[in-house]
Each structure stands twice: as C-alpha cells, then as structure tokens.
Amino acid sequence: MMSMTKKSKIFLFDVDGTLTKSRKTIEKDMVDTLLELKSKGECLLALVGGSDYKKIIEQIQYPEIFDYIFSENGVIAHKNNEQYFSENIVNFLGESKLKNLINYCLLYIANLDIPKKRGTFIELRNGIINISPIGRNCSYIDREEFCAYNSKHDILKTFRSNLINEFGKYNLAFSIGGQISIDCFPTGWDKTFCLRHIEGISNEIYFFGDKTDIGGNDYEIFHDKRVRGYSVTCPDDTIKVLRTFLDS
C-alpha cells in the first residue's frame, strides 16, 4: 500500500477539461500516464469535481487509480473508493432561502432568450446547486453550440453576476462550472473545501485545473497557498505537464 506519510506528494486533478474532455470518459493515454505516475511510489492521486460521485465515476471509469475522490468540491469524500465524509447544502440554507433561490433561477431562465433549451435546469446535489440555462440533459452537440453562443453573449457571466447581487447576502458563492452551468455553494465550499481532507498528509499538493481565471470553478484552489497550481487547457496539456514530473 502506498505510503501516507507527510513526505508523500499529492497530485490533485480537476475532471472536465483536465483529465477528460468535457463530460466525456477518460482516454487511454491519460489512464496510462496516471498509472505511470502512481508507479513512481511516494505520491498519492486525488481528484476533485463539482459533479456528484456517480457522474465522476462514469467519466473516470477507473476509480481504483485514485486514493481520494472528492465529489461536489469535497463535500462528499471517498478514500480508496469508500465514502467517509459528507455535508449538505439544504441544511446550510434552509427551505425558505432554497426556495427563493430556485424560484429566481427558474424565472430568470424562463425569460432568457437563447437558441435552445432542454431540461434539468437546476440540479440539487449535496454540496452544490448546479444551474444550467440550456439544461444539463442537452446533447453534446447542443452543449458545443451553447458554449459558442455563450462565448459571444456572456450568458453565464451575466447570470452569475445577477446571482451574486441577489443572493450574496445568503453567504453563497457562484462560479462558472464547466461549459454550460453555474455552481452555487456556501462561501468556502468551493474546491478549496477538499484540502481539509488532505492538507495534513502532504506538504506538496500539486493541483491541475482548466477553469483557473476569476469566476471559474478552479480559481480559488488554484490560488490557494496550500497548493502549487498548474493551469491547463485540455487533457493533452495535463499529460504534457505530468511528463515533466515523470521524466525528471
């Protein structure tokens, strides 16, 4: 079994855009690279994503590669594929505030004029409320079309700004999560939340993510003093950076 001493390095990865293409399954070259990294010995592999555990596993395919899996930003935590920690956003907000937020989002989306709308506009998870103007059950082609439309019209950026203005008083934070949605969570429940589970294990935590600009869901953890952040553009870029560790 891999050493869990303070000397261990931890490689901590975002999922979409870092280990996999958006909402796609992990590819063989990434699996091979991660296995090679793990074979080096004194390191642990971990991942953190905003999606729930089931969706992350659907993408990652091989959960046994990772020592830690932090779904919903670490509000749900698994070690060696066994859950050992959970929190709940409903308990944090209460039913009245939750209802106000959901009603606002549904009305906003109903009045939003975009080319396509599908379904599952709001997804309530344990630690995150995911809000998608087009709807999470859109097809991959729909997703790509929305992404292109959003890049021209700032749909998500504008929606996020409105949510911050309206609900910042609830001690909630909002970040753009992936290509089609906004993640809502209690302040401090961003991806830095997962660090509480591993900061006592290692002095060297290397984080890899693609949404590292302000407003992106990797921004806070990328700039956290407890990690050394690497901003990547795609899975191939992640492999390229990992090769610098493997070949050194």
Question: Per residue, what are the HEC states of 212-226?
Answer: CCCCECCHHHHCCCC
Q: Tell me, yes or no, if 16 is annotated catalytic.
A: yes
- The tokens describing 217, both together, are 């869901």
- May I ask the CATH class of domain 89-186? alpha beta
196 is in an annotated binding site: no
Distance in angstroms (rounded) separating the CA atoms of residues 215 and 222: 12
Q: What is the pTM of this model?
A: 0.79
Q: Computed over its alpha carbons, how large is the radius of gyration of the chain?
A: 18
Containing 248, the helix (H) or strand (E) segment is none
Distance in angstroms (rounded) separating the CA atoms of residues 206 and 31: 18
Q: Tell me, yes or no, if 14 is annotated catalytic.
A: yes
17: left (phi over 0), alpha (psi -120 to 50) or beta: left
Domain ranges of the chain: 9-87+189-246, 89-186
Collapse the DSSP code of 17 into the 3-class scheme (helix H, G, I; strand E, B; otherwise coil) and give the result.
coil
Per-residue pLDDT of the chain (248 residues; tens, 9 = 90+): 344 445 589 999 999 999 999 889 999 999 999 999 999 878 999 999 989 999 999 999 999 999 999 999 999 999 999 999 999 999 999 999 999 999 999 999 999 999 999 999 999 999 899 999 999 999 999 999 999 999 999 999 999 999 999 999 999 999 987 789 999 999 999 999 999 999 999 989 999 999 999 888 999 999 999 999 999 999 999 999 999 999 87
Domains 9-87+189-246 and 89-186 share a fold: no
125 is in an annotated binding site: yes
Question: Nearest-CA neighbor of 64 among 92, 31, 86, 90?
Answer: 31
Q: What are phi and psi of 31, to 5 degrees?
A: -60, -45
183 is in an annotated binding site: yes
Strand residue runs (E) in 66-151: 68-71, 76-79, 82-86, 122-124, 129-131
Enumerate the β-bridge partners of residue 175. Answer: 183
Distance in angstroms (rounded) separating the CA atoms of residues 150 and 143: 10
pLDDT at residue 6 in the model: 52
Q: Which CATH number fits domain 9-87+189-246: 3.40.50.1000, 3.30.565.10, 1.20.210.10, 3.40.50.150?
A: 3.40.50.1000
Catalytic residue among 16, 52, 190, 218: 16
210 is in an annotated binding site: yes
Question: Nearest-CA neighbor of 191 among 27, 8, 96, 51?
Answer: 51
